[in-house]
Amino acid sequence: MSEKQTVLIIEDDKAISNFISRALSANDYRSIPAYTGKEGLSLFFSHGPDLVLLDLGLPDMDGLEILAQLRGLPRETPVIIISARDREAEKVRALDMGADDYVVKPFGVSELLARIRSALRRADRLKLSQGIQRSSYQIKDLTVDLARHQVLLGGEEIHFTQNEFKIIELLAIHAGKVLTYDFILEHIWGPYGGSGSNQILRVNMANIRRKLGENPSEPRYIHTELGIGYRMLDD
Residue nearest Ca ion (C-beta atom): 57
Complex with Ca ion: residue 93 or 220, whichever CB lies closer? 93
Residue 19 burial (CB < 10 Å; 0-12/13-18/19+)? middle
Residue from 57, 72, 190, 219 touching Ca ion (CB under 5 A): that is 57
The distance of closest approach from Cβ of residue 44 to Ca ion in the complex, given in angstroms and rounded to an integer, is 17
The contacts of residue 21 (CB under 8 Å, 6+ apart) are: 9, 31, 33
Complex with Ca ion: residue 82 or 184, whichever CB lies closer? 82
Other beta carbons less than 10 A from residue 98's beta carbon: 14
Residue from 7, 12, 143, 186 touching Ca ion (CB under 5 A): that is 12
Query: x/- contact string, 105-144, with Ca ion (CB under 5 A)?
Result: ----------------------------------------
- Contact between 61 and Ca ion by CB under 5 A: the answer reads no
Complex with Ca ion: residue 57 or 98, whichever CB lies closer? 57
How far from each other are the two terminal CA atoms of the chain, in whole angstroms? 44
| Gap between the Cα atoms of 235 and 232, Å rounded | 9
Which residues between 37 and 56 bind Ca ion (CB under 5 A)?
Answer: 55
Complex with Ca ion: residue 62 or 235, whichever CB lies closer? 62
Rounded to 5°, angle at Cα 112 from 108 and 115: 145
CA torsion through residues 126, 132, 133, 136, sign: positive
What residues make contact with Ca ion under the rule CB under 5 A? 12, 55, 57
